[in-house]
A and B are shown apart, each in its own frame.
Chain A
Amino acid sequence: AQSVSQHNHHVILSEAASLELGCNYSYGGTVNLFWYVQYPGQHLQLLLKYFSGDPLVKGIKGFEAEFIKSKFSFNLRKPSVQWSDTAEYFCAVNPGNTDKLIFGTGTRLQVFP
């Protein structure tokens, strides 16, 4: 079955630290890839997306993600986190010619000043 794995369930960082959140998926065909973020008390928001082209995509608030096809990965990165980045981050995959989104289990990020 198609699945999305986020290996980091809970990440705690100090401000200015670098961030990398892992995301791996199991689907051999063409995929569209997404990272969503849910800030405390807010709804799920799109952080960035990959459809095709340059495998390094940039999103809002200084986030970027790299699609590595050979590793079935789409890791999220930010060189220097801020306290306001405290949130839950979800990786999602849209496999093949479907409209479905398959979500990972989410990573809770806490950033301390």
Chain B
Amino acid sequence: SAVISQKPSRDICQRGTSLTIQCQVDSQVTMMFWYRQQPGQSLTLIATANQGSEATYESGFVIDKFPISRPNLTFSTLTVSNMSPEDSSIYLCSVEEVRGAKNIQYFGAGTRLSVL
């Protein structure tokens, strides 16, 4: 499976600031995804990032708050803007590998964000 690297692995930020999380894959992938895992909760999809097009956001998530870039087939960034303590979460990047008709998502290690 693809090797996915996320940076930073963790950060502590002040409210009102922004943090950009990077996701690097060791192979070219079409589909990349960003998830959020709030404390004690499951993973929730924020958006799907395809190279060469605007990210597609899920209900409850907006581009102004979570702008995403996808400049090429191996890299994506997620920015958490104007942060508040409610944004404290683990943010995960995933990539989709297609094997025949079977699509499987693999995950990065995540970025643990604490907002003070």
Interface check A100, CB cutoff 8 A = yes
Which single member of A42, A46, A51, A90 contacts B43 (CB below 8 Å)? A90
Which single member of A43, A49, A94, A105 contacts B42 (CB below 8 Å)? A105
Number of interface residues of A (CB under 8 A): 21
A43-B110, A44-B92, A99-B31 known; A51+B45 contact, CB < 8 A: no
Interface check A95, CB cutoff 8 A = no
Residues of A contacting B42 in the complex (Cβ-Cβ under 8 angstroms): 90, 103-106
Interface of B, helix, strand, loop or mixed by DSSP = strand
B108 with A51: CB separation less than 8 A: no
Q: Mark B7-33, 1 if CB is under 8 A from A, else 0.
A: 000000000000000000000000101
Interface check B72, CB cutoff 8 A = no
Interface check B107, CB cutoff 8 A = yes
Chain B: interface residue count, which band? 20 to 34
A32 with B103: CB separation less than 8 A: yes
Q: How far is the CA of A14 from the CA of B104 in the complex (A)?
A: 32
Q: Which B residues are within 8 Å of any A CB, using their own CB?
A: 1, 31, 33, 41-45, 48, 92, 94, 96, 101-110
Q: Which A residues are within 8 Å of any B CB, using their own CB?
A: 32, 34, 36, 42-46, 49, 51, 90, 92, 94, 99-106
